[in-house]
Chains A and B, each alone.
Chain A
Amino acid sequence: GQQLNQSPQSMFIQEGEDVSMNCTSSSIFNTWLWYKQDPGEGPVLLIALYKAGELTSNGRLTAQFGITRKDGFLNISASIPSDVGIYFCAGPSYRNNNNDMRFGAGTRLTVKP
């Protein structure tokens, strides 16, 4: 099926360090999304990518959609304590009109002040 494999599962970093996480799949996705889940809350969309090879930045976040449409990465520069949370890659399945969203297992980020 259209599974998304995220790595690493967890990261413990010092404030100010850069973070890199990635996500791979054996299936092609039309859209590649990154969500963040703050502790005790629901996930919120961070970045959406639509074109193969697309690279986009949003503040300290940089994300790229792989050229094969089967992978992507998310980088966070100069991490701060509020970056703590779980980061999910996601993409719509072909099963229906893109309402069937597949999520990776998540990367849990801990930032030590």
Chain B
Amino acid sequence: EAQVTQNPRYLITVTGKKLTVTCSQNMNHEYMSWYRQDPGLGLRQIYYSMNVEVTDKGDVPEGYKVSRKEKRNFPLILESPSPNQTSLYFCASTLAGATNNEQFFGPGTRLTVL
């Protein structure tokens, strides 16, 4: 089944404790992105990657890091989480050149930073 998976789905952590949220897609998509969703703000892009070893900042990159060592994986790293990073996070992938730019989203990771 074609899908984007994220782990963990739920995470409660404390300020300053490094964490990684994994994202994996099995569709051989070139493009991958991370978004955060907050009430009243919709989806805001954190980082995106156009291919292996190619990453760039989105609209809200502060406090986050990403890497793209393999095509299928795009982990999101919070080196020192803070309470304002409490949010719902989505990973998405897109096939390069897709006419409709369709993004396939993972199921989301709900992060709480105390």
Q: A residues near B, CB below 8 A?
A: 4, 6, 9, 31, 33, 40-45, 48, 50, 88, 92, 96-101, 103-106
Contacts and interface: CB of A to CB of B under 8 A. Distances in A.
Query: Which size class do B's interface residues fall under?
Result: 20 to 34
From DSSP, what is the main secondary structure of chain B's interface residues? strand
B102 interface: yes
Nearest to B32: A99
29 contacts: A4-B42, A6-B42, A31-B100, A31-B101, A33-B101, A40-B107, A40-B108, A41-B107, A41-B108, A42-B92, A42-B105, A43-B90, A43-B103, A45-B100, A45-B102, A50-B100, A88-B42, A96-B48, A96-B50, A97-B50, A99-B33, A99-B101, A101-B33, A101-B45, A101-B103, A103-B42, A103-B44, A105-B41, A105-B42
Interface of B: 4, 31, 33, 35, 40-45, 48, 50, 56, 58, 90, 92, 94, 96, 99-103, 105-108
B27 to A, nearest CB: 14
Contacts, number: 64
Contact of B105 (A44, A48, A92): A44
A106 B100 contact: no
